[in-house]
Structure 1
Amino acid sequence: MDQRLVDLMRIGLAYHHAGLTAGERSAVENGFRAGTLKLMACTTTLAAGVNLPARRVVIRSLFQGGGKLGVENYRQMAGRAGRAGQSTCGESVIMLRSQEKAHAERLLTGRMPRVQSHLVAGGAQAWATARPLHASAGQEPPLAGQSGRIPSSAAASMQQPPLAPPTPPPPPAVAPARSERGGASGPPSKTSPLEEHPLQGLLLEAIVNQMVGTDQSVDHLLQCTLLSHQVGCAQLQRQKGAALRALFAAGLIETKYVDAELLPGLKTWAVTVMGRAVRACALPVTTAMTLYSEVDQVRQSGCMLHEKCHLIFLCIPEDQPFVISGWRDWLECFAKLSPDKQRVAEHLGVREGFILRQCKGACSGGAKDTQRHNRFAAACALAAVLEGQPVLQVVAKWGACNGLTERGVLPGQLQHLQESAAKRAGQLAGLSNAAEWWHLEMLFSTIRDELGFGTSRQLFALMQVEGMTAARAHALFKAGLRSPEAVVTAKEEKVRRALTGSLPRSLRDTAAPPPAKRPKALKGVISREEQARAMNSGSNSLVARALRQLLCSCRRHIVSAAEKQTAAAENALQVSLQPIVVSQHSQPSQRSSMNELRHRGDVP
């Protein structure tokens, strides 16, 4: 834990923000709930759902992020005071300047905003008000004024599938997105229909799950949404048409004919392999398509497996905290990378020439090159964590303030990035499975587990033990204790020495075994070493307590694993001993063979 936070907690104070590590956050929240901490300073995480009931909440600023505090966020903050069952009363105090009095009164007396459907970009109300602006550009004018009535054009579109083109969709790798009028507009971008119509996510999922297939079934689905009650029928039809056309043009869905004997000539929507893979990510369609293209490129050009940075690079999310501002520091770090990492950087397009141009102030290249360097720096930092380096040491090297990044990277932000990368790796594994890229699924599943545990694969056996940390697992592995069975059967002194190695450097020397019995001639004389050991006796007790907990956890893990194996073996044995049942409708040859087996006594 940060020493500043420890010093504050000793006097009953603490702070809470998104940069805290998991251990620091847990200690602060548990201390506040227990009443040990009397005062806690928070950022806007108080409004984001941190359930910490309090007697009094003091709001010292009416701004949140880049704008003013809203009514819903204010009530979320003030609602922390006086929780039912936690306190008999609560107080909420607002600190403000004289010019902010009107805004504070609106917060106190204002009504909660109306719930809006976000199946369309910007919400239903924003889309409905912005739609007439496009009418002057030659587009179809809205028909929202005819509330409760379906226009003739919309009614006709509800009776037959108007969006099922007879031509097959473009190939997935080079599928161009088409505008609402049918013109090619290139791959999905910020102005493509894929981002203008979020309704496509619902429709794609419904088609994947075979909930809808025809135009009538799509209309029935949309009538069950909040959007259908907030926009007109004509607007809803336009949104549906634009979303389906965008999905079809991107190669995510296709049309196929129903059985000619049942319904001749009827076409239905069906999902493509690419569409199934995109939906398996559980991400917005545009983000999932970007990931699909990146993974497809890796499948075609190959993945450099001699270094984990390549796989980690693919798992870095967009909202990662590494934004390079000190290009000279990045040049120095880049020069110190191992040859394997530099080959991965060259393969990914992260080149030293771009860094040199940035150091000279030449703004050559675009945002994609800068983003590529940012992602690679984040991948290098996470690779260092997987290699066993402590989080604080990695932050000191890669996330120092006014160094590689202007604002720096906090330990909690690095841990959050690790969790987000593990989640993204799982999504990529699901995408690869749906696309039937089995080799890539195995790679992403492995890196997902490594990012989740925070260690390499060779430590997975130890990390499955309850309460095991990455530092302890590395220390035990270095001592030759590579499994829970090895920890339990080893001598306690060997395990104790390994646990001592997982302590911070300042505590390792003090966590030494007790000295031998002193000679009688020196009885009553206290040496400096004994004084230091007495002052730091907490280190020995810490190691002893950790040793007891580790041995108990390893024993419970071994017993639990043995019970699971026994249960699985019993189930398999019961299945194998079940009698073979012959159906009366089986073939005569099968019945005769079974009768022969019964005569021989092989079958009861």
Structure 2
Amino acid sequence: MSKTCRSSLKPSITPVSSDQYVPKVELKEYLKVNDAIYEVDSGAESGMTFSRLLNYKYSDALKKMDPDHLVALVTEVIPKYSCLVFCPSKKNCENVAEMLCKFLSKDFLNHREKEKSAVIKNLRDMGNGKMCPVLKRTVPFGVAYHHSGLTSDERKLLEEAYSTGVLCLLTCTSTLAAGVNLPARRVILRAPYVAREFLRRNQYKQMIGRAGRAGIDTVGESILLLQEKDKQQVLELINGPLENCYSHLVEELTRGIQSLFLSLISLKIATSLGDLYQFMNGTFFGVQQKILLKEKSLWEITVESLSYLTEKGLLRRDSCGALEEAQCCFHITKLGHASFKGAIDLAYCDILYRDLKKGLEGLVLESLLHLVYLTTPYDLAAQSEPDWMVYFRQFSQLSPAEQNVAALLGVSESFIGKKASGQAIRKKVDKNIVNRLYLSFVLYSLLKETNVWSVSEKFNMPRGHIQSLLTGAASFSSSVLHFCEELEEFWVYRALLVELTKKLTYCVKAELIPLMEVTGVLEGRAKQLYGAGYKSIMHLANANPDVLVRTIEHLSRRQAKQIVSSAKMLLHEKAETLQEEAEELLRLPADLPGLGASDTKKV
């Protein structure tokens, strides 16, 4: 029998101290074909042995809605035990959660009813009164979906509710298996696919590894649902070896190595061709080179990568010797140093430089749109596809200054209108610029409204995706700021990007930003503090924790003390920074020609 015994990760419900014995949890693997359930058995000729038939009375309506018998499988364990149902897509997660709740007994509504009501209230508060209609229908039954379309706060709340048993079932995508420790008594794989790709063995192992909780359960079960047509492929998947592990540099054969070389030369770890080649030989990629490299040698790849960086203007080499000579040394240029400092993807560093340079010729500062465009991540724009009707609607509402930004980028309203109406377009327009401008519209709306829900509805995008875009833009804005700090010609961007990075990081009304710099203060808490009269860091630093506890709802004394302490520390840091700047200004005139010590004192 194929029964894998292993200790699961540390459970999130009942912690086990280091001196306690953690019993191993037996994991039983099953396959479901039609009404029959088979246990995986590597010793059997077919690779599996018959276990049982599903014994569940199905009405005609239920047979039509649930041909895979998910209702039967989950009701064998919930609500007493927890269950995870892995689905191939995000939409499937939501559909399965709703379908299950349509056929679950009304008795499920009574299980931990008050706690589920609290979960619903918290979800509604997160959305400023709005709540996902699917979760509104499923949470009362102890069921929820979990995927990247949710905001991080929503995911965290649902994970906590599941960990504490308030929710007994999550329908989820494969990303949950790798990212979050949410064990279950039973794990069900809805299909042997992730999106349209057939499962890999490491993905399968990661998913079924959620089954069984050390210190809580003595057994865990996984059930993979499959069709007859997939049976042989599934058996090969389950009984076959794990996939080989390869260096990440293989996936990005040039970009990964180029970024590595730029870092090595910038940090002066290795600067000559010979040293860089020697370094590469000692990497995991170097160890695997005989397996991975078919057409080119490691030496050739090293030379080509350095040649590319030199042509891009990120490196310069000594004039003596040919590029292929081992003693040939390389030095990082100002552009290379700026790219390294800003952690800019080398595929986009020259594009970023050109965009910033072009921006200097006509930077539109009547609105934030132009700056937001310059800090919209290139990689996210390359992956996105606009909703053209939404795009046209938003474009037609632009102010004259905002229209000027689009004109400078070469995107016209007539072009967007033709795309929205499905007309043929003869004039070539850079797709990346068009897509990037669309995402900048999303970010710009978010900065103005500071409400993920309203922007989600306006652009017909999942709120989780909008939040990811915002996080990516805040990170990229910080990177662009560091990039500009290293290049004197971009001095004008520095102060502008400091403020924009703050706006993107916090994405709240301007008056709340100073409060959110304090550790432990998020948007909801910042609104409470501001409404109670604490409108600056100084106000918080001088606050009495006991008064804060009485004034601010749901604030513990420990949290209040942490907020006051953090505000005092932040205020102290700001005072020290200002003191250093003042001393620097006082020292500056002494270095200027024509000014003596007496003049310095006057200054």
Q: TM-score, normalised by structure 1?
A: 0.64
Cα distance, 1:240 vs structure 2: 1.0
User: Which of residues 369, 376, 396 in structure 2 aligns to 1:309?
Assistant: 369
For 1:88, the equivalent position in structure 2 comes to: 218
For 1:562, the equivalent position in structure 2 comes to: 568
Residue ranges of structure 1 left out of the alignment (5+ in a row): 124-195, 259-264, 400-408, 497-542, 574-604
The answer on 1:220 being equivalent to 2:278 is yes
* CA distance 1:347–1:53, shift in 2 (3 Å): same
- Residue by residue over 1:519-567, the C-alpha shift from the partner in whole angstroms, topping out at 9 and shown as x without a partner, is xxxxxxxxxxxxxxxxxxxxxxxx9995352998677534443356569
Letter in 2 for 1:97: Q
The answer on 1:440 being equivalent to 2:493 is yes
Equivalent pair of 1:276/1:435 in contact (CA under 8 Å): no
Equivalent pair of 1:12/1:37 in contact (CA under 8 Å): yes
SS in 1 for 2:535: coil
User: Which runs of structure 2 are paired with 1:277-426 in the superposition (5 Å)?
Assistant: 277-298=338-359, 300-317=360-377, 318-319=379-380, 323-327=385-389, 329-364=390-425, 369-399=430-460, 409-426=461-478
User: Which runs of structure 2 are paired with 1:106-145 in the superposition (5 Å)?
Assistant: 106-120=236-250
The answer on 1:12 being equivalent to 2:133 is no
Letter in 2 for 1:208: S
- Residue by residue over 1:259-313, the C-alpha shift from the partner in whole angstroms, topping out at 9 and shown as x without a partner, is xxxxxx9752111111112222324321333323322332x42422221111221
* CA distance 1:240–1:560, shift in 2 (3 Å): closer
Letter in 1 for 2:392: L
- Residue by residue over 1:231-260, the C-alpha shift from the partner in whole angstroms, topping out at 9 and shown as x without a partner, is 2597111111111111112211112369xx
* CA distance 1:78–1:241, shift in 2 (3 Å): same
Decide which moves more: 480-489 or 6-15: 480-489
User: Which runs of structure 2 are paired with 1:580-599 in the superposition (5 Å)?
Assistant: none
SS in 2 for 1:58: strand
* CA distance 1:220–1:343, shift in 2 (3 Å): same
Cα distance, 1:352 vs structure 2: 0.9
* CA distance 1:445–1:257, shift in 2 (3 Å): same
Cα distance, 1:78 vs structure 2: 0.9
* CA distance 1:98–1:214, shift in 2 (3 Å): same
SS in 2 for 1:57: strand
Cα distance, 1:104 vs structure 2: 1.2
Equivalent pair of 1:386/1:451 in contact (CA under 8 Å): yes
Cα distance in 2, alignment partners of residues 467 and 301 from structure 1: 42
For 2:483, the equivalent position in structure 1 comes to: 431
SS in 2 for 1:47: helix
Equivalent pair of 1:391/1:411 in contact (CA under 8 Å): yes
Equivalent pair of 1:488/1:554 in contact (CA under 8 Å): no
Cα distance in 2, alignment partners of residues 570 and 301 from structure 1: 37
Cα distance, 1:333 vs structure 2: 2.4
Cα distance in 2, alignment partners of residues 257 and 225 from structure 1: 29
Equivalent pair of 1:310/1:344 in contact (CA under 8 Å): yes
User: Which of residues 137, 154, 166 in structure 2 aligns to 1:24?
Assistant: 154
For 1:75, the equivalent position in structure 2 comes to: 205
Residue ranges of structure 2 left out of the alignment (5+ in a row): 1-122, 124-131, 321-325, 580-603
Cα distance, 1:73 vs structure 2: 0.8
* CA distance 1:366–1:571, shift in 2 (3 Å): closer
SS in 1 for 2:223: strand
- Residue by residue over 1:341-368, the C-alpha shift from the partner in whole angstroms, topping out at 9 and shown as x without a partner, is 2222222323112123324533326785
Equivalent pair of 2:147/2:173 in contact (CA under 8 Å): yes
* CA distance 1:7–1:201, shift in 2 (3 Å): same
* CA distance 1:445–1:202, shift in 2 (3 Å): same
Letter in 1 for 2:373: F
* CA distance 1:244–1:374, shift in 2 (3 Å): closer
Cα distance in 2, alignment partners of residues 567 and 378 from structure 1: 36
* CA distance 1:240–1:267, shift in 2 (3 Å): closer
Cα distance in 2, alignment partners of residues 38 and 47 from structure 1: 17
SS in 2 for 1:440: helix
- Residue by residue over 1:145-174, the C-alpha shift from the partner in whole angstroms, topping out at 9 and shown as x without a partner, is xxxxxxxxxxxxxxxxxxxxxxxxxxxxxx
* CA distance 1:122–1:273, shift in 2 (3 Å): closer
Cα distance, 1:427 vs structure 2: 1.4
The answer on 1:199 being equivalent to 2:257 is yes
* CA distance 1:396–1:411, shift in 2 (3 Å): same
* CA distance 1:367–1:441, shift in 2 (3 Å): farther
Equivalent pair of 1:55/1:87 in contact (CA under 8 Å): yes
Cα distance in 2, alignment partners of residues 347 and 570 from structure 1: 42
* CA distance 1:76–1:202, shift in 2 (3 Å): same
Cα distance in 2, alignment partners of residues 551 and 476 from structure 1: 15
The answer on 1:53 being equivalent to 2:169 is no
Equivalent pair of 2:516/2:523 in contact (CA under 8 Å): yes
Cα distance, 1:480 vs structure 2: 7.5
Equivalent pair of 1:61/1:95 in contact (CA under 8 Å): yes
RMSD in angstroms over aligned alpha carbons? 3.7
* CA distance 1:461–1:198, shift in 2 (3 Å): closer
SS in 2 for 1:93: strand
* CA distance 1:569–1:335, shift in 2 (3 Å): closer
User: Which of residues 287, 292, 297 in structure 2 aligns to 1:235?
Assistant: 297
Q: TM-score, normalised by structure 2?
A: 0.64
Letter in 2 for 1:112: L
Cα distance in 1, alignment partners of residues 493 and 483 from structure 2: 9
Cα distance in 2, alignment partners of residues 347 and 479 from structure 1: 45
Cα distance in 2, alignment partners of residues 80 and 410 from structure 1: 27
For 2:507, the equivalent position in structure 1 comes to: 454
Cα distance, 1:337 vs structure 2: 2.4
Cα distance in 1, alignment partners of residues 530 and 437 from structure 2: 29
The answer on 1:39 being equivalent to 2:169 is yes
The answer on 1:253 being equivalent to 2:315 is yes
The number of equivalent residue pairs is: 435
Cα distance in 1, alignment partners of residues 551 and 511 from structure 2: 26
For 1:549, the equivalent position in structure 2 comes to: 555
* CA distance 1:439–1:553, shift in 2 (3 Å): farther
